[in-house]
Amino acid sequence: MDWSPKNAASALSSSSKTVIVVFLVLLLGGFFSTRWIDTSSFGSSSSNTSLFTAIFSSTHLRQSITIPSSKQKPYGPLTCPLQNNTCPSPLEHTLVPLLTPTATTPPPPSCPAFFRWIYEDLRPWSSTGITRDMVEGARGKANFRLVMVGGRTYLDKYHGAFQTRDVFTLWGFLQLLRQYPGRVPDLDLMFNLDDLPVVRAADYRPGEAPPPLFRYCKDDSTVDIVFPDWSFWGWPEVNIKPWEVLLEELKKGNERVKWKHREPHAYWKGNPWVSPTRQDLIKCNVSDTNDWNARLYSQDWVQETRGGFKSSDLASQCTHRYKIYIEGRAWSVSEKYILACNSPTLLVNTGFRDFFTRGLMPGQHYLPIRSDDKCRSIKSAVDWGNSHQKKAQAVGKEGSRFVQEELKMEYVYDYMLHLLSEYSKLLRYRPSVPEGAVELCPESMACPRGGREKEYMAGSAVKAPRDAEPCAIPAPFSPGELQEFLRSKDDAVAQVEKWN
């Protein structure tokens, strides 16, 4: 059997009719996750953290979800069940254009540098604009079409997805509307939920616009439009809590063992079976005959799921001085958790980029590792770090600062808002609701759910509209600047290789 996500997705959707098969799928869910979950770790099952203050009170027939907030104008509780099967009217739906600072408000601070890539991702359509035909041309590659009109959200679903990545991706769109009511423009977009980018630039003639398709990552040969992945709102199947909650736990977890007292090796824990490059990495594990300074462990998700994820708590994995990041089938959601440890990330060179990794600089936020000579490269990076401890700690701190500051949830929403705003400027037509699409709202998504899914929705619900402007998006790269940026990245890799 081929355990590709496509098959998993079709298995999930085609089998959902019979209880027996559903049961089977649930059973296999644990096995699937062993295939794809890259990160070493998952949050513990106790969700009693300071930020996790969402309260569910459920009575027999009516439930209400109360989401307390420290901000001034918090949203009221969601009313469950959904009244009359109809989503409530959006609070505000007069569009306030972005980037029009008023006389009374100072201009907002600049967004992190990786926001510049929004322009690069949309460049294939910069001269043609985006027509309805182009969007519909992506239909064959999309899991769903999402349309936003007047602050309301409509879903036209084509294919199911692996686990709940579709649910938490859509939840993210709805939370953006809560973060910035009245600021999200009308939209019409196609989204693919699989790992691998599919819109190959080489398949289109110069001047011919490819179909615009949103997904989680791309590489240099593809023109998929990258968007934050579902794990920012939570990954209930493997106990990965919403990013805002986890970021706080990681910060605390980090303080448990000082860097100097951590094991002086490079640590990785994950699923080695998802890609040949991970199989290759495993060869660097410590053995009777070799010590490449690598301590590598494979993650048994079946056991983790049964054991309540006790040995996969992300916040208690900052125990080694170095942490290895390696791609899975494509990008891996584990990167942000690995970077958060204050231990330098040894990043095995990868061609896959998600929205934020384009802001990382080798030698500053991480230490690059050659993918064609992993063992020696890891050994020399660790040897270098142990004999240049101040410099190594600085790299570890800088990687963690990046995720704590530049990747905080506020900026994830700002990235979404700027990307969608720039995308909507390219639309050459007025989006309208496709026939058969259903309206989505937080009530329609959260009310019917239970368990960890509902818990994570409460934990990632935006508690109040943001009371400040989004950050100001930096100007696009000029062609010279982009060349220069890419060259400086290559130079930095060469520089770090010289340290070793």
Ligand X SMILES: *[C@@H]1O[C@H](CO)[C@@H](O)[C@H](O)[C@H]1NC(C)=O
Least distance to ligand X from the beta carbon of 450, Å? 20
Q: Which is nearer to ligand X, 25 or 282 (CB)?
A: 282
- Using rule CB under 6 A, residue 48 touches ligand X: yes
Q: Which is nearer to ligand X, 177 or 296 (CB)?
A: 296
Residue among 3, 297, 384, 477 that touches ligand X (CB under 6 A): 297
Q: Which is nearer to ligand X, 275 or 285 (CB)?
A: 285
Q: Which is nearer to ligand X, 231 or 239 (CB)?
A: 239
Residues 193-252 that bind ligand X (CB under 6 A): none
Site string for ligand X, 245-274 (x = CB under 6 A): ---------------------------x--
Q: Which is nearer to ligand X, 213 or 441 (CB)?
A: 441
- Using rule CB under 6 A, residue 289 touches ligand X: no
Q: Is 360 exposed, middle or buried (0-12, 13-18, 19+ CB in 10 A)?
A: buried
- Using rule CB under 6 A, residue 440 touches ligand X: no
Q: Which is nearer to ligand X, 298 or 303 (CB)?
A: 298
- Using rule CB under 6 A, residue 51 touches ligand X: no
Least distance to ligand X from the beta carbon of 28, Å? 23
- Using rule CB under 6 A, residue 83 touches ligand X: yes
Q: Which stretch binds ligand X (CB under 6 A): 83-91, 100-108, 110-118, 358-366?
A: 83-91
- Using rule CB under 6 A, residue 286 touches ligand X: yes
Q: Which stretch binds ligand X (CB under 6 A): 4-12, 295-303, 415-423, 461-469?
A: 295-303
Residue among 131, 285, 371, 386 that touches ligand X (CB under 6 A): 285
Least distance to ligand X from the beta carbon of 317, Å? 15
Residue among 12, 296, 382, 395 that touches ligand X (CB under 6 A): 296
Q: Which is nearer to ligand X, 64 or 285 (CB)?
A: 285
Least distance to ligand X from the beta carbon of 49, Å? 9
- Using rule CB under 6 A, residue 70 touches ligand X: no
- Using rule CB under 6 A, residue 84 touches ligand X: yes
Least distance to ligand X from the beta carbon of 53, Å? 8
- Using rule CB under 6 A, residue 85 touches ligand X: no
Do residues 234 and 241 make contact, with C-beta atoms less than 8 angstroms apart?
yes
Do residues 369 and 498 make contact, with C-beta atoms less than 8 angstroms apart?
no
Long-range pairs, 425-429, Cβ under 8 A, ≥24: 426/122, 426/125, 426/126, 426/129, 426/130, 427/129, 427/130, 427/186, 427/187, 427/188, 428/129, 428/130, 428/131, 428/132, 429/131, 429/132, 429/188
Q: Which is nearer to ligand X, 173 or 267 (CB)?
A: 267
Burial letters 196-229, b for 16+ CB under 10 A, else e: bbbbeeeeeeeeebbbbbbbbbbeeebbbbbbbb
Catalog residues that contact ligand X under the rule CB under 6 A.
46, 48, 83-84, 86, 272, 282, 285-286, 296-298
